Amino acid sequence: MHGIPDSSENPENNDQSNELDDLRGLVDSIDDGILGLLAERRQVARKIAAEKHRAERPFRDDLREEALLIDRLTAAGKYELDADLVSRVWEQIMADSLRVQFDYVQNSVNGRKDAVVIAIQGVAGSNSHRAALALTPDMREREFVACTRFADAVTAVKDGRANIAVLPIENTTSGAIAEVYDLLLESKVSIVGEVKVHVKHCLVGVKGASIADLKTIHGHPQSVAQCSNFLAGLADVEVIYATDTALSAKRIAEIDNPTVAAIANEEAADLYGLEILESGINNRKTNYTRFVAVAAEPATVDPQVPAKTSLVLSVSNEAGSLAEVLNAFRTEEIPLVKLESRPMVNNAWQEMFYMDFEGNLGDQRVQRVLEEVRRHTMYLRVLGTYPSRDLRPHRRPAPEPERVIQVSTPGSQHAEKSSSDGPYRLAGRKDRATETVVDVNGVIIGGPELVMIAGPCAVESIDQVMKTAKAVKESGGKLLRGGCFKPRTSPYSFQGLGWEGLDMLAEAGRVYGLPIVTEVTAPEHVERMAEKADVLQIGTRNMQNFALLNEVGRINRPVLLKRGMSASIDEFLQAAEYILAGGNQRVILCERGIRTFETSSRNTLDVTAVPVLRRRTHLPVIVDPSHAAGDRELVVPLATAGAAIGAHGIMVEIHPDPENALSDGPQSLTLEAFDQLMETLSQRVQPAITP
Residues lying near ligand PEP in the complex (CB under 6 A) are found at 457, 483, 519, 539-540, 562, 592, 627
What beta strand segments (E) does 258-376 contain?
A: 260-264, 275-279, 288-295, 307-315, 336-343, 351-358
CB of 628 to ligand PEP, least distance (A): 9
Q: Count helices and strands (H / E) in the chain.
A: 22, 25
Strand partners, 651: 453
Closest to ligand PEP by CB, 282 vs 603, is: 603
Q: Is the dihedral of CA 88, 89, 94, 99 positive or negative?
A: positive
Which of 428, 412, 421, 367 lies closest to 577 in space, CA to CA? 428
Please give the Cα distance from 6 to 17 (Å, whole number): 12
Q: Is 120 helix (H, G, I), strand (E, B) or coil?
A: strand
Closest to ligand PEP by CB, 432 vs 525, is: 525
Site for Mn ion contains 664 (CB under 5 A): yes
Please give the Cα distance from 294 to 672 (Å, whole number): 52
Residues 6+ apart with CB under 8 A from 4: none
Residue 423 identity (one-letter amino acid):
P
Our answer to whether residue 494 is catalytic in this structure is no
CB of 474 to Mn ion, least distance (A): 22
- Please give the DSSP secondary-structure letter assigned to residue 429: G
Please give the Cα distance from 399 to 359 (Å, whole number): 10
Please give the Cα distance from 263 to 231 (Å, whole number): 10
Task: Look at residue 582 and give the partner it binds from ligand PEP, Mn ion, none, a contact being a CB closer than 5 to 8 Å depending on partner kind.
Answer: none
Task: Look at residue 592 and give the partner it binds from ligand PEP, Mn ion, none, a contact being a CB closer than 5 to 8 Å depending on partner kind.
Answer: ligand PEP
CB 166 within 8 A of CB 293: yes
Strand partners, 144: 118
CB of 486 to Mn ion, least distance (A): 8
Q: Which of 291, 329, 353, 572 is catalytic?
A: 291
Which segment (56-64, 252-260, 321-329, 449-457) binds Mn ion by CB under 5 A?
449-457
- The contact pattern for Mn ion, residues 399-438, with x = CB under 5 A and - = no contact, is ----------------------------------------
Closest to Mn ion by CB, 326 vs 673, is: 673
CB of 673 to ligand PEP, least distance (A): 18
Q: H-type helices in 382-535, by residue range?
A: 410-415, 462-475, 498-512, 526-532
CB of 598 to ligand PEP, least distance (A): 17
Closest to ligand PEP by CB, 537 vs 556, is: 537
CB atoms within 10 A of CB 600: 8
Angle at 201 between CA 196 and CA 206, to 5 degrees: 140
CB of 522 to ligand PEP, least distance (A): 14
CB of 357 to ligand PEP, least distance (A): 40
Which segment (116-124, 218-226, 428-436, 454-462) binds Mn ion by CB under 5 A?
454-462
Task: Look at residue 616 and give the partner it binds from ligand PEP, Mn ion, none, a contact being a CB closer than 5 to 8 Å depending on partner kind.
Answer: none
- The contact pattern for Mn ion, residues 282-321, with x = CB under 5 A and - = no contact, is ----------------------------------------
Helix (H) / strand (E) containing 166 = strand 164-171
Please give the Cα distance from 557 to 534 (Å, whole number): 7
Task: Look at residue 540 and give the partner it binds from Mn ion, ligand PEP, none, a contact being a CB closer than 5 to 8 Å depending on partner kind.
Answer: ligand PEP
What's the farthest any 2 CA atoms get from each other in the chain? 117
CB of 630 to Mn ion, least distance (A): 9
Task: Look at residue 436 and give the partner it binds from ligand PEP, Mn ion, none, a contact being a CB closer than 5 to 8 Å depending on partner kind.
Answer: none
Please give the Cα distance from 590 to 139 (Å, whole number): 52
Which segment (273-281, 459-467, 507-515, 662-670) binds Mn ion by CB under 5 A?
662-670
Our answer to whether residue 409 is catalytic in this structure is no
Site for Mn ion contains 606 (CB under 5 A): no
Integer CA distances (angstroms), 667 to 241, 655, 664, in order: 58, 10, 6
Please give the Cα distance from 194 to 185 (Å, whole number): 17
- Centroid of chain to Cα 125: 27
Task: Look at residue 371 and give the partner it binds from ligand PEP, Mn ion, none, a contact being a CB closer than 5 to 8 Å depending on partner kind.
Answer: none
Residue 486 identity (one-letter amino acid):
K
Closest to Mn ion by CB, 246 vs 652, is: 652
Site for Mn ion contains 565 (CB under 5 A): no
Closest to Mn ion by CB, 664 vs 675, is: 664
Closest to ligand PEP by CB, 592 vs 616, is: 592
CB of 483 to ligand PEP, least distance (A): 5
Task: Look at residue 518 and give the partner it binds from ligand PEP, Mn ion, none, a contact being a CB closer than 5 to 8 Å depending on partner kind.
Answer: none
Site for Mn ion contains 624 (CB under 5 A): no
Closest to Mn ion by CB, 118 vs 457, is: 457
CB of 614 to ligand PEP, least distance (A): 20
Q: Is 552 helix (H, G, I), strand (E, B) or coil?
A: helix
CB of 531 to ligand PEP, least distance (A): 21
Q: Is the dihedral of CA 188, 574, 439, 413 positive or negative?
A: negative
Please give the Cα distance from 427 to 571 (Å, whole number): 12
Which segment (129-137, 153-161, 457-465, 610-618) binds Mn ion by CB under 5 A?
457-465
Task: Look at residue 562 and give the partner it binds from Mn ion, ligand PEP, none, a contact being a CB closer than 5 to 8 Å depending on partner kind.
Answer: ligand PEP
- Total residues found in the chain within this entry: 691
Which segment (3-11, 206-214, 451-459, 562-570) binds Mn ion by CB under 5 A?
451-459
Closest to ligand PEP by CB, 158 vs 541, is: 541
CB 640 within 8 A of CB 610: no
Closest to Mn ion by CB, 648 vs 655, is: 655
Integer CA distances (angstroms), 132 to 163, 289, 461, in order: 12, 12, 48
Q: Which of 173, 289, 436, 518 is catalytic?
A: 289
Residue 340 identity (one-letter amino acid):
E
Closest to Mn ion by CB, 431 vs 664, is: 664
| Residues near Mn ion (CB under 5 A), total | 2
CB of 457 to Mn ion, least distance (A): 3
Among 146, 156, 450, 457, which residue sits at the site for Mn ion (rule: CB under 5 A)?
457
Please give the Cα distance from 167 to 180 (Å, whole number): 7
DSSP 62-88: HHHHHHHHHHHHHHHHHTT--HHHHHH
Closest to ligand PEP by CB, 217 vs 629, is: 629
Residue facing ligand PEP at closest CB distance:
539
Q: Is 590 helix (H, G, I), strand (E, B) or coil?
A: strand
Q: H-type helices in 114-244, by residue range?
A: 127-135, 150-158, 178-186, 221-226, 228-232
Q: Is 606 helix (H, G, I), strand (E, B) or coil?
A: coil
Catalytic residue set: 289, 291
Binding site for Mn ion (CB under 5 A): 457, 664
